[in-house]
């Protein structure tokens, strides 16, 4: 798992743009809230404690002023093992954690957080304290025993991920249909889309990791196993909502809505590369 804490201090609502990712996540709002744009253009207000599935499309969020949240990213393929939910049932969607976990445990966590948050002055909770509370909660509700399921095996074999299907099924010792079924059960998407999002993650790491010019995009497309730059352009529109060039311009402009793309390479890799 990978934890990210985000605190907004603006006096007005703030937009954020997130790309597609195979990482399911659990998000806790310490204060404030957020709305997520739906495919029909409407906005859905998220519950205070929400379980997000893997997303194969970009998402546009509007956070309330002074929103403060902690997000826990699950490794792709690990959601069912950890909490008993198949990621396919949450594909590109979110549910209240109350629908998944015993409500008394969630109520106890929120009560402890609110009591700490409402302390005056320096006695109020810190990010480290809130994170520790959430970690203890997760240790209580999640199955964190080490198991060798298909998700873990597939991640460990990432060098073979792009082999022909027949070779990949031989590598895992299962039939082609069974492999496809188990990949979908583990990641929420089929093998083709798993490969596409992994390839996108590889290229994204290159694009945001160092200064990139128009000429560099052709080489990045080639190195990331796209057919050509036009192919990468098409998939960036699908997974981020922007072309590679437009995305670079947004990042360089310091537009706060694109803060996710300014994380460290280490954080970016953990968020968008499931291998």
Question: 111-127, pLDDT tens digit by residue?
Answer: 999 998 888 876 677 88
What is the CATH code for 2-141? 2.60.120
Interval 93-98 mean pLDDT:
95
Cα(192)–Cα(197) distance, integer angstroms? 9
Pick the closest to residue 153 from 185, 122, 129, 121 (CA basis): 185
pLDDT of residue 244: 92
Task: Give me 141's structure tokens.
Answer: 């509700």
Question: 5-49, pLDDT tens digit by residue?
Answer: 666 555 556 899 999 999 999 999 998 999 999 989 999 999 999
pLDDT of residue 33: 92
Is the fold of 2-141 the same as that of 150-254+264-272? no
**Residue 160 reports pLDDT greater than 90:** no
Question: 243-253, pLDDT tens digit by residue?
Answer: 999 998 898 88
The full set of domain ranges for the chain reads 2-141, 150-254+264-272
Question: 170-186, pLDDT tens digit by residue?
Answer: 888 889 999 999 899 98
pLDDT of residue 9: 57
Sequence length of the chain is 275
Cα(63)–Cα(85) distance, integer angstroms? 27
Q: What is the DSSP string of 96-134?
A: EGGGTS-HHHHHHHHHHHHHHHTS-GGGS--HHHHHHHH
By the 8 A CB rule, do 29 and 48 touch? yes
Interval 118-140 mean pLDDT:
85
Class of domain 150-254+264-272: mainly alpha
């Amino acid at each position: 798992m990978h934890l990210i804490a985000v605190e907004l201090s603006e006096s007005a609502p703030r937009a954020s743009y997130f790309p597609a990712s195979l990482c399911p996540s659990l998000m806790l709002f310490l204060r404030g809230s957020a709305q997520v744009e739906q495919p029909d253009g409407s906005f859905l207000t998220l519950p205070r404690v929400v379980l997000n599935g893997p997303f194969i499309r970009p998402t546009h969020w509007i956070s309330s002023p002074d929103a403060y949240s902690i997000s826990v990213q699950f490794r792709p393929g690990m959601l069912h093992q950890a909490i008993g939910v198949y990621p396919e049932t949450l594909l590109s969607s979110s549910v209240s954690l109350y629908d998944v976990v015993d409500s008394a445990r969630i109520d106890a966590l929120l009560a402890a957080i609110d009591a700490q948050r409402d302390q005056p002055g320096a006695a109020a909770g810190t990010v480290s304290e809130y994170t520790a509370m959430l970690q203890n909660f997760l240790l209580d509700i999640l199955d964190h025993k080490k198991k060798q399921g298909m998700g873990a095996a597939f991640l460990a074999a990432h060098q073979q991920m792009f082999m022909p299907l027949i070779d990949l099924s031989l590598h895992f010792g299962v039939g082609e249909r069974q492999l496809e079924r188990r990949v979908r059960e583990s990641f929420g998407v089929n093998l083709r889309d798993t490969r596409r999002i992994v390839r996108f993650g590889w290229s994204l790491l290159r694009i945001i990791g160092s200064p990139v010019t128009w000429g560099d995009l052709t080489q990045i497309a080639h190195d990331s196993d796209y057919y050509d730059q036009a192919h990468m352009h098409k998939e960036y529109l699908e997974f981020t909502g922007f072309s590679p060039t437009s995305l670079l311009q947004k990042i360089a402009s310091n537009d706060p809505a694109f803060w996710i793309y300014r994380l460290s390479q280490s954080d970016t890799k953990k968020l968008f590369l499931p291998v």
